[in-house]
Amino acid sequence: MQLTDYEKRMLEGGEGPAPRFAMEVLVKLGQIYGADRLVEVSSAQIMAHYGSLHDAGLELAEKFVALGGRFIIPTTEDPLSICDRHWRDIGIPEEYAAKQERLRQAVLTLGAQPAWTCTPYLAGNLPRFGQNVSWAESSAVSFANSVLGARTNRTPAGLNYCAALTGRMPRMGLYRSENRRGQVLVRVAAGEMSSLDYNTLGLLIGKSVGNRIPVVEGLPDTTGVDDLKYLGAAAASSGVVALYHAPGLTPEATAGDPFAGDKPQESLSFGRDDFTAMQREMTTAAGEAELGVVGCPHYSVPEMQNLAGLLRGQKLKPGCELWVYTSPTVCELAQGMGLVEDITAAGARIMDGNCLVISPLGKNHYRTMVTDSAKAAYYLPSEHQVGMIYTDTAGLVSALVEG
């Protein structure tokens, strides 16, 4: 494997013990997978949630601190496993919160930004077309590769620390142009599409293509950034889709033929009937919802506006809860717009910087949840042993508020 003088110096310890440890990991992995060299990565999205890192991940982060490590590229992190506003009142154990706090302090000491979000691109971590980055979190990876045209693999938790400490990753997988070509053609014929439709379409695509790269045709011109966020998050839940192309909407497919002259391995088509069937399949509960969950991936400002509009002047039914997941950055903007007040006045909780997929539920045992997110509907039933109702945001609100 070819290394530059600077990379050799890091490997030999000339830049300190933390970059040395990180370079040993990167070079070893590069050798195993036949990488010819390392690529420079311009930002990292790392995981620092105790719910998935456990004590081992905490010990890893604290090891880098003990070695005097500093992140040398802009680095943001995934949500935490607790919400600072609400962990006490929903009944997260003190010991759990204390472990999460240690992990947070470790990554802040290493130089991470306190972004705590799965949508780092809405919090200032925004690579340009063609730029190499090292991101974790499947929905963020999909967004970076597909919507932004940046390049990242599905970087394992823990390995991103090495990228952040060195600004390097082995040149393999989606860093190489030849591995970014479309493989499966997906034709969509569903007319105008709602936010829920993009979620549902993502589930259908992920289930059918697995880990191959789909090229999605027939999406409306009105498709927005949040719509693509949901499409990618859902396809990365039911499948392992790290990159999709949508000619006319995503940059790589617009700059040239996404199949690069090859024929698709397979052609699929999805219409209204498929959406309806998949929507039904994701609803597993017959009873009334007790807990609403929105913001998976994290709600954007327009989504906070939409929700505030639906909740204005309403009250949640007694015994019902609504947890709104968003980033601290979006929350601050929403606060300034008066949206946080509209949402909390109805009785909902804003769980900024947090995510229910990677967090304990707290002291209450909910039987039935309702969500407007395909990713949440895919993961939460098995993670928290609950029944699920999968519907659009307006349907979710009307299920939870007093009639």
Q: Which residues bind another protein (CB under 8 A)?
A: 21, 24-25, 28-29, 32-33, 47, 52-57, 59-60, 63, 136-138, 141, 153-159, 172-173, 240, 358, 379, 382-383
184-189 and 168-170 strand pairing: unpaired
Number of Cα atoms under 13 Å in the Cβ half of residue 90: 24
Give the integer Cα–Cα distance in Å for 185 and 398: 37
Give the integer Cα–Cα distance in Å for 324 and 311: 12
Q: Which is nearer to another protein, 28 or 88 (CB)?
A: 28
CB 308, CB 226: distance < 8 Å: no
Q: Find where tokens 């060299």 sit.
A: 37
Q: Find where tokens 């954007």 sit.
A: 300
Helix (H, G, I), strand (E, B) or coil at 379: helix
CB 339, CB 243: distance < 8 Å: no
Question: In angstroms, what is the minimal distance from the CB of 85 to another protein?
Answer: 24
Question: In angstroms, what is the minimal distance from the CB of 284 to another protein?
Answer: 13
Question: In angstroms, what is the minimal distance from the CB of 66 to another protein?
Answer: 12
Question: In angstroms, what is the minimal distance from the CB of 158 to another protein?
Answer: 5
Question: In angstroms, what is the minimal distance from the CB of 318 to another protein?
Answer: 32
Output b/e per residue, 365-389; b: 16+ Cβ within 10 A.
Answer: ebebbbbbbbbbbbbbbebbebbbb
Helices (H), 91-180: 94-110, 138-142, 159-166
| Residues in a beta bridge with 352 | 326
Q: Which is nearer to another protein, 54 or 176 (CB)?
A: 54
CB 165, CB 171: distance < 8 Å: no
Question: In angstroms, what is the minimal distance from the CB of 400 to another protein?
Answer: 27
Q: Which is nearer to another protein, 11 or 141 (CB)?
A: 141
Q: Which is nearer to another protein, 53 or 231 (CB)?
A: 53
Q: Which is nearer to another protein, 373 or 391 (CB)?
A: 373
Question: In angstroms, what is the minimal distance from the CB of 171 to another protein?
Answer: 13
Q: Find where tokens 């719509």 sit.
A: 227
- What lies within 8 Å, CB to CB, of 95 at 6+ separation is none
Question: In angstroms, what is the minimal distance from the CB of 131 to another protein?
Answer: 20
User: What separation in angstroms does the CA of 96 have from each of 79, 102, 182, 353?
Assistant: 15, 10, 43, 16
Q: Which is nearer to another protein, 28 or 280 (CB)?
A: 28
Q: Which is nearer to another protein, 154 or 298 (CB)?
A: 154
Helices (H), 67-93: 87-90
Q: Which is nearer to another protein, 320 or 358 (CB)?
A: 358
